Structure 1
Amino acid sequence: MAARRTHPVRGDRRCGTADRPPGCLSDTAHPGAADPHRPHPAAADVTTNASDALNYTPVLDQSHQNTGIHPEQALVDAGYCSETNLEAAKDRQLTCGTDTFMATGRLGHDEQVPPAPRGRIPKNATFKERMARKLRTKPGRKAYSRRKAIVEPVFGQIMTCQNGRQLLLRGEDGARGEWRLLVACHNLRKIFRHVGSAGLAAAIT
């Protein structure tokens, strides 16, 4: 999971640049969960939320709604890190089987985690300390290192190959519809390259 800032919007009017000038709200585009072997986004959304932290649960829920299955892993950047999401990640692993690896950003002076933690987790460890510890284990480092190869190429391909760096439709609903169309086209291109025209026609019929 990751987010990218697309064009800024003010009310229903599109501002003229891809930067974020003062006084403008910028849409946040989420490609959502992706297949680790073939980066096919399973969810996509555009929001005007000031923080990505508000989108952790909705994007994973949308992925389940679109595919009928819960992802095995969620590789989440530090923009989604909050006490609420860290607690939700623990609950989601128990109820849905989704193992979340969430970057925690900088730790406070009172939140110390060993570079290579071993042994039992301290009973008084906070959710943030537990997640930071999890990411510093060998399995955690290996899992999170794959994020740049799973999530980031999707943004690069949509923005470079499909001219998706700046959305053209006005308003949140228009931007959401355009972004989801771009993501759907990205998936169709990937499927076509994998199965060819015959396989794609068979899947449709």
Structure 2
Amino acid sequence: MGRTREFDVEQALEAALSVFWRKGYEATSYTDLTQATGVERPALYSAFGNKEALFRRVLERYYDHYHDFFPAALELPTSREVVARIFRGAAELQTRYPDKKGCLFVHGDLAGSDDAEPIRHSLIDARADGEASLRERFERAKQEGDLPETANCAVLATFVMAVLHGMAVQAKAGVSRNMLEAVAEQALSTWPTKSSLLSGGKSS
């Protein structure tokens, strides 16, 4: 019989998530992970594989437990409500914990070495998936008449992601939730609608 695992896997994943969120993938050492989880390196290897495999498990947990506001927002009735909910959720999450500012998807792969290239690509792919989901949602909004026919859904999706990434960088630098929400409101003030298009046409 194999030896019974002597630690809680979910607790260990949460502890590892906190370290990766705070330090990023490259800067996190096995010493950091063993100290945070209270689990020795051989047991971590046995449970999760190597550091890369552990980080991938952490990303899944981050998306399911912390970034769940994003898929929930896509179900809201209008594109503007979708974006407002995503911006608010990001501002709250990125400033929720004093020792874990910003976004793991954005900061996890910064300044990575060649060894970390697979992780960098995984995070790029994760962000691309989010952008694709937004683009598809905006295309549906366009079909439903919520967005004007002239709206470029690909550009709108990229715009939202660019604002989100900027908010993450600002949060990491210590910008407050109130300021991030004000930035979000400023971004939303330019959101295209049929009524704003009509108003623009009348005033020209």
Same fold (TM over 0.5): no
Q: Which has the higher helix share?
A: 2
Q: Which has the higher strand share?
A: 1
TM-score by length of 2: 0.29
Rg bigger for which structure? 2
TM-score by length of 1: 0.29
